[in-house]
Structure 1
Amino acid sequence: MQHSPAAVPAAHATRAQDQRISQLRIQIAAAVFLAIVAVFCVLPLFASNTSFAFYLMLWIIMASAINISVGFTGYLPFGYVVFYGIGAYATGICYKVLGWPIFPSLLLAGGFGIALAMLFAPTLRLKGVYFGIVSLALATIVRLVISNLPSEITGGSMGLILAGSNNPVLSYYTMLLVLVLTLACVLWLSASSLGKALKAIRDDDGAAACVGINVPRTRLKAWVLAAVFPALAGGIEAWHTNVVDPEYAFHVLVTAKSIVYAMAGGFGTILGPVVGTTALLGIDHIIWQKFPLINLLLLGLVIVLLMLFLPRGIVGGLLRRYPQLRRYIA
């Protein structure tokens, strides 16, 4: 079937317009991210207590990283906390037991996150709830194995105390560095051929394979990217608090919060996890200050209402209600 002479230029013009719109979205998202990073950069100069900002950065990293798995590939890992926990323990063991400096310990934490992602790679053959349940089971197994290792290595059920490592300012800016790397990765992924391939796989993996995309290898790349950032965040949080606790490091609530914060903003969007995390964590902080006895009840009510009225998240809901914003928001 031959195309008319007028159809070819029209197709090129449409493609060029789509590229310009995509570039504009990326530029706007990059500007928003730069503004957020600038605020976090100068905040310690004006605030004596940076605890809220530190954990806001941590949860933005967790939500943005899980969005790589869920938003780009459609894989929802219920055991996502395993990467956070392995990063915390790798940092604790290297610093406390082996006597390494803190930064090499953190680098190894990221390496352990990648290694664990590679070890769990066969689970990517599963789909939907089966993948989620298996990932949760594997996270439970890892937690039990670590808890039952000799106490000289992991501290047993009591965990590890990283005495002498505490440096709130340096750990704050290290978390900020990981935040920058996470957001930069999301921006790159959204504009790259890898990101486009992942979205094609998410929508229809069979069709993606037919057009030449190596589905298993492409999924594995996203899985590794989604694993390294929570491992680094877990290691930095352990350094910041001086404690590695097996109950908290592998607590299912870490996964739940990552999912809820990303979902509140909108899975599959660039800005969604940042917006959702900032909104819910801010609301949680205000509720906890005003109503400490019923803060969990009120926060749960807020989440239920959000899911009822904005099932696609804040950013997703805006894009659905105002389609013209798709030119500017991704």
Structure 2
Amino acid sequence: MATDSRDDSAIAAIRNRIWFTVMAVIVAALALVPVLGTSLSFSFYLMLWITMATGLNIIAGFTGYMPLGYVAFYGIGAFATAILTKMFGVPVYVSILVGGVCGVLLSLLFAPTLKLKGIYFAIVSLGLAIICRLVIVNLPESWAGGSYGINLGLSISPVVTFYYMLAVMVAALLTITWLAQSRLGKALRAIRDDDQAAEVMGVNVVGTRLKAWMLSALFGALAGGVEAWYTNIIDPESAFQFLVTAKTVIYAIAGGLGTVTGPVIGAIVMVWVDDLIWQRFPIFNLFLLGLAIILLILFLPRGIVGSIIQRKPSWRRYIL
């Protein structure tokens, strides 16, 4: 038993070293983008989608709840940041953090939906996102800009915003890395596999599930807030667009839900594919992207990382 424990610890240490090396390479490469003068916009949105896919993975991959209304947190983070900055003169750095808190508060408001499962939860969460959009549209125009949205009117360098998004992405990756190896992460997986059995084993299903929901909402809202700062303008149509959820879900599934590495790899590959198709075939962009997604699902149904693990089960010990 002692030998098995030592072996498990050694494998865990190797797995962590592999993952942290991969993460360090990704972060270093992105951090050098402004210095090297390469595509700032492409890299910014790559970080945004990695953050969004990682945030979704916390609730969908680890807990088994697929929120089709995940865009609600992104949108509320964006609008909270814009309203606080433009209307109340709060420094944008602070506004983004408050926007993250607003996302967490919204997740608490949506918490009763966690009693639902499967497609019922997915549909209700989508409905709630639509309601959030309507609420924002009908707020006083002096606050939220009505259907036209808000122009933040900031003159800060995009590079500053770029590094702020980098910091949010790193925070998301470190959080899910901790989660995957913590007691909370094990409890979430137990709930995903069989919530009744998990409850019999002493897991506080309601409280544990809510923690994952709040963490997921936090990173979605932070990403929305930084993106609002980057574009300097936000409107209800773009902030609560279903395509935001769709891309987040597709990128996370493409890599493999339930792993730390999967959504990161999925986001990197799919953002690159999307950008390549857009550059070469702008008219057929959505058609070809959809075709690429269909082929991915047909040939790699568990995602890139999930399919690798399925074909090489022994590798699972070294992939976080």
Contact 1:26–1:191 (8 Å) recurs in 2? no
Is 1:233 aligned to 2:223, yes or no?
yes
Q: 1:153 — aligned with what?
A: 143
In structure 2, C-alpha distance between the alignment counterparts of 1:71 and 1:131, rounded to whole Å: 15
2:214 paired residue among 221, 224, 247: 224
Is 1:111 aligned to 2:96, yes or no?
no
Q: 1:285 — aligned with what?
A: 275
> 1:219: how far off?
0.3
Q: 1:66 — aligned with what?
A: 56
> 1:292: how far off?
1.5
2:125 paired residue among 135, 138, 150: 135
Give the unaligned 5+ runs of structure 1.
Answer: 1-8
Q: Structure 2 length as normaliser, TM-score?
A: 0.97
Contact 2:33–2:39 (8 Å) recurs in 1? no
Q: 1:3 — aligned with what?
A: none
2:265 paired residue among 272, 275, 278: 275
Distance 1:16 1:200, change over 3 A: farther
Q: 1:193 — aligned with what?
A: 183
Is 1:44 aligned to 2:27, yes or no?
no
Q: 2:84 — aligned with what?
A: 94
Contact 1:166–1:241 (8 Å) recurs in 2? no
Give the letter aligned to residue 285 of structure 2.
Answer: N
Q: Percent identity?
A: 55
In structure 1, C-alpha distance between the alignment counterparts of 2:146 and 2:93, rounded to whole Å: 24
Give the unaligned 5+ runs of structure 2.
Answer: none
Q: How many residues align?
A: 320
C-alpha deviations, 1:218-273, integer Å up to 9, x for none? Answer: 00110000000110110110000011110010001100000000000000011101
In structure 1, C-alpha distance between the alignment counterparts of 2:56 and 2:12, rounded to whole Å: 22
Q: 1:81 — aligned with what?
A: 71
In structure 2, C-alpha distance between the alignment counterparts of 1:306 and 1:281, rounded to whole Å: 14
> 1:15: how far off?
4.0
Q: 2:292 — aligned with what?
A: 302
> 1:48: how far off?
5.0
Contact 1:61–1:229 (8 Å) recurs in 2? yes
Is the partner of 1:73 in helix, strand or coil? Answer: coil
Contact 1:30–1:187 (8 Å) recurs in 2? no
In structure 2, C-alpha distance between the alignment counterparts of 1:328 and 1:129, rounded to whole Å: 33
Q: 1:27 — aligned with what?
A: 17
Contact 1:165–1:239 (8 Å) recurs in 2? no
Q: 1:214 — aligned with what?
A: 204
In structure 2, C-alpha distance between the alignment counterparts of 1:310 and 1:202, rounded to whole Å: 22
For structure 1, which segment, 123-132 or 50-59, has the greater mean C-alpha deviation from structure 2 after superposition?
A: 123-132
Is 1:144 aligned to 2:134, yes or no?
yes
Give the letter aligned to residue 105 of structure 1.
Answer: S
Matches for 1:163-182 after TM superposition, within 5 Å: 163-182=153-172
Q: Structure 1 length as normaliser, TM-score?
A: 0.95
> 1:141: how far off?
0.6
Contact 1:77–1:131 (8 Å) recurs in 2? yes
Give the letter aligned to residue 205 of structure 1.
Answer: D
Is the partner of 1:72 in helix, strand or coil? Answer: coil
> 1:25: how far off?
1.9
In structure 1, C-alpha distance between the alignment counterparts of 2:111 and 2:93, rounded to whole Å: 27
> 1:17: how far off?
2.8
